[in-house]
């Protein structure tokens, strides 16, 4: 089964309250509004899936929001949840981040739980290059990935766990750290998933 087919099946067969991935967006919204409060900022949510983040950003006045996800089912669910007015203000893209070419740059790159599914070193390196090329100078990267003691698999797929330092090192010398912290996500069935969050600012040089 292809990666896309896997996620289409996951979204079609599991109701929202039974998925291990979060359906809220409190932490993401807090970080975006804290570090990039300008409502005109270009924000891309990679792997946004059916998350309410895009809708909540629009509600907060953000006018340039893009959601990228490998599953059209997830995007359709997000659009339905956002309502016609909010959905029309978001650019929705069904694509695999490993091959996606944005054709533009952003002020914020947000990724909650996509990077840790990229377990091949070439995919992780290509991802880091894409992030760097897709962010404006002084743009903000907000990233959440399974911590070093997190699960070894998720949603039936293997994952790559990482420390804060390992996440920073992936992006070489192109970013400066602004904020790091650990957060434990509680799944609908009561298990705990430790995440490492990292907020970094892209440097004006070393593109």
Give just the sign of the alpha carbon dihedral 150, 22, 132, 157. Answer: positive
**Domains of the chain: total:** 1
One pLDDT digit (tens) per residue for the chain, 207 residues: 799 998 899 888 887 777 766 567 999 999 999 999 999 999 999 999 888 999 999 999 999 999 999 999 999 999 998 887 788 999 999 999 999 999 999 999 999 999 999 999 999 999 999 999 999 999 999 999 999 999 999 888 999 999 999 999 999 889 999 999 999 988 777 788 999 999 999 998 754
Instruction: Say if 44 falls within a structural domain.
Output: yes
Rounded CA separation 191/185 (Å): 8
Q: Could you tell me the residue range of the domain that residue 64 belongs to?
A: 38-202
Instruction: Say if 142 falls within a structural domain.
Output: yes
- In 3D space, the residue among 143, 107, 116, 163 whose CA is nearest the CA of residue 27 turns out to be 143
Q: What is the CATH number of the domain that holds 160?
A: 3.40.50.150
- In 3D space, the residue among 172, 179, 118 whose CA is nearest the CA of residue 145 turns out to be 118
Query: Whole-prediction pTM value?
Result: 0.93
Are β-strands 106-112 and 90-94 bridged in parallel, bridged antiparallel, or unpaired?
A: unpaired
DSSP string, 144-177: EEE-TTS-SEETTEE-----HHHHHHHTTTSEEE
Q: What is the pLDDT of residue 100?
A: 96
Instruction: Say if 66 falls within a structural domain.
Output: yes
Q: What is the pLDDT of residue 23?
A: 67
Instruction: Say if 183 falls within a structural domain.
Output: yes
Name the phi and psi angles at 119, rounded to 5.
-95, -15
Dihedral angle computed from the Cα positions of residues 184, 34, 30 and 116, in that order, rounded to the nearest 10 degrees: -50
Report whether 74 contacts 11 (CB < 8 A). Answer: yes
Instruction: Say if 15 falls within a structural domain.
Output: no
Residue 136 CB partners (closer than 8 Å, separation 6+): 42, 105, 106, 107, 202
């Amino acid at each position: 089964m292809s990666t896309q087919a896997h996620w289409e099946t996951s979204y079609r067969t599991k109701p929202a309250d039974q998925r291990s991935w979060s359906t809220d967006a409190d932490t993401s919204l807090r970080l975006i509004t804290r570090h990039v409060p300008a409502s005109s900022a270009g924000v891309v949510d990679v792997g946004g899936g059916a998350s309410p983040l895009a809708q909540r950003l629009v509600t907060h006045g953000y006018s340039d929001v893009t959601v990228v996800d490998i599953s059209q089912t997830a995007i359709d669910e997000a659009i339905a949840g956002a309502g016609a007015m909010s959905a029309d203000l978001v650019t929705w893209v069904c694509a695999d981040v490993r091959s996606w070419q944005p054709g533009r740059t952003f002020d914020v790159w947000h990724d909650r739980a996509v990077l840790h599914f990229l377990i091949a070193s070439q995919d992780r390196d290509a991802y880091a290059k894409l992030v760097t090329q897709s962010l404006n100078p002084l743009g903000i990267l907000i990233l959440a990935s399974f911590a070093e003691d997190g699960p070894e698999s998720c949603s039936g797929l293997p994952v790559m766990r990482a420390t804060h330092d390992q996440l920073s090192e992936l992006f070489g010398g192109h970013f400066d750290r602004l904020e790091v912290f650990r957060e434990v996500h509680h799944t609908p069935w009561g298990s705990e998933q430790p995440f490492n969050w990292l907020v970094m600012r892209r440097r004006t040089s070393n593109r």
